Structure 1
Amino acid sequence: MQIPPPETLHLDSDETTGYPNSPLPVLIYRQVLDTGSAEERAESFEAMFQRHGWLPAWRYHLYDFDHFHSTAHEALGIFRGQARARLGGPNGQETVLKAGDVLVLPAGMGHASVEASDDFCMVGAYPPGQEPEIERGDPTQLEAAQARVADVALPGYSPVGGPLAALWGEGA
């Protein structure tokens, strides 16, 4: 299966809201999986992520509040429904995610669901040894969050395949 190159989105830290975001870009892969039932897509995403060294951890929706993980990169495989997501924290940018898409969030990147279909659901995965903490922006804690983000190891491969260094290399 040939995966098209991802869309990239660069979002700087937001000192007013305390969201560290990342010097690394968000990766948005469109229509990675476009056939099969929702259950088959979920299983296919889990197998794909696992094959490329990202450990599937859950199936759930996207929280409707802005949050980030300063201790882990995150892959989200949308297997059912669609959502309008905000990336980068409260002052971030919106994008529409549909079944079949994969969103790869570098550590520190704010994200939230602005609006979603009732059936919206995704598979979440993380590189080995990375445990996500759910954090919300706090301008007084921004420097500490940025330091944690800088310490998160870069995985070797994208969760959909191919070297991640070409997309995230050298701190982008």
Structure 2
Amino acid sequence: MSIPQPERLHLDSDATTGYPNSPLPVLVYRQVLDLSNAEERAESFEAMFKRHGWPPAWRYHLYDFDHFHSTAHEALGIFRGQARARLGGPNGQELMLYAGDVLVLPAGVGHASLEADDDFCMVGAYPPGQEPEIERGDPAQLAAAQTRVAAVGLPEDSPVGGPLAELWG
């Protein structure tokens, strides 16, 4: 199986809202899995993420409020439905997410669901030893959040496969 090439989205820090975002790009892999059954797609995402060193942690929807994780990178595999999401915090960039897509969010990148199908659901995964804290932007805490983001280790592989350093380098 060939490794798909992701879209790369660069999101700057936003001092007005306190979202650190990241100098590393968000990776958007489109149609990684082309399975018609949502349960099979979820299981395939979980197996893929685990195989590449990102143990799956949950199945859930995307929160409808802007938030970020300053202590962990996050992989999201959309296995059912579609959603209009925002990346980068309240002043961020909108994009559509569809079943079969994967997002790789560097630590610090704001994300929220703006609108989603009732059955929209994802598999979430994090590199070993990284625990996500749910944080919301606070301009007074931006410098501290940026320090935490900078300290998060980089995993060797993308959750979809292939060296992450080439994509985040």
TM-score (norm 1): 0.97
Report if the CA contact (8 A) 2:83-2:98 is conserved: yes
Deviation per residue, 1:105-155 (Å, 9 max, x gap): 000000000000011000000000000000000000000000000000000
Q: Which residue of 1 aligns with 2:162?
A: 162
Offset, 1:3? 2.7
Segments of 5+ residues of structure 1 without an aligned counterpart are none
Report if the CA contact (8 A) 2:3-2:162 is conserved: no
Q: Which residue of 1 aligns with 2:113?
A: 113
Q: What's the Cα RMSD here?
A: 0.5
DSSP-derived class of the 2:109 partner: coil
Residue 55 of structure 1 aligns to which amino acid in structure 2? P
Determine the C-alpha separation between the residues in 1 that align with 2:44 and 2:72.
22
Q: Which residue of 2 aligns with 1:50?
A: 50
Determine the C-alpha separation between the residues in 2 that align with 1:80 and 1:3.
22
Segments of 5+ residues of structure 2 without an aligned counterpart are none
Q: Which residue of 2 aligns with 1:137?
A: 137
1:87 aligned to 2:62? no
Offset, 1:2? 1.5
Q: Which residue of 1 aligns with 2:123?
A: 123
Residue 72 of structure 2 aligns to which amino acid in structure 1? A
Residue 149 of structure 2 aligns to which amino acid in structure 1? V
Query: What is the number of equivalent residue pairs in this alignment?
Result: 169
Report if the CA contact (8 A) 2:72-2:106 is conserved: yes
Determine the C-alpha separation between the residues in 1 that align with 2:3 and 2:36.
17
- More displaced, 2-11 or 124-133? 2-11
TM-score (norm 2): 0.99
DSSP-derived class of the 2:125 partner: strand
Offset, 1:76? 0.1
DSSP-derived class of the 1:42 partner: helix
% identity of equivalent residues: 86
Offset, 1:36? 3.4
Q: Which residue of 2 aligns with 1:101?
A: 101
Determine the C-alpha separation between the residues in 2 that align with 1:51 and 1:17.
36
